[in-house]
Amino acid sequence: MLKLSKKSEYALMAARYMAIKNHGTAITAKEIASNFNLSYELISKVLQSLSKNQIVLSYKGVKGGYVLSKSPVEISLIDLIKAVEPDYQIAECLNSEGKNKSCCYEENCTIKDPLAAVQQKIDKVFFETKLSHII
């Protein structure tokens, strides 16, 4: 079964929340965590990754928090997912290094190319689906 990681789910939830709630006011990790009953530590790490990848802007201080760096129509789901899960793939053999050290069948593999085609289709859907589509 194909499934998004918790980090990816949290990234989508946080970005969606910011898109709906944000009217120029920074939103804290604590607010997002308590609103959805999520792990504060994990949502903080997710927001840091989104900030590092310039999807959100981070502000420090009393009125600090996070805001989206772009309009929701400019942020694709693939941007959010890859920000928190750079090696997101449906199979380990499709990772960015191109080598799967744990696969003993790699030399004679008959499914890598078909899975790569499926991965491209999934990526296309996530690329074409913008944050604005899920709010």
> What structural domains does the chain harbor?
6-134 (1.10.10.10)
pLDDT tens sequence across 24-66: 789 999 999 999 999 999 999 999 999 999 999 999 988 899 9
pLDDT at position 68, please? 96
pLDDT tens sequence across 90-132: 887 777 555 555 666 667 888 888 999 999 999 999 999 999 9
pLDDT at position 77, please? 98
* Cβ pair 103, 93 in contact under 8 A: yes
Q: What is the pTM of this model?
A: 0.87
* Cβ pair 68, 55 in contact under 8 A: yes
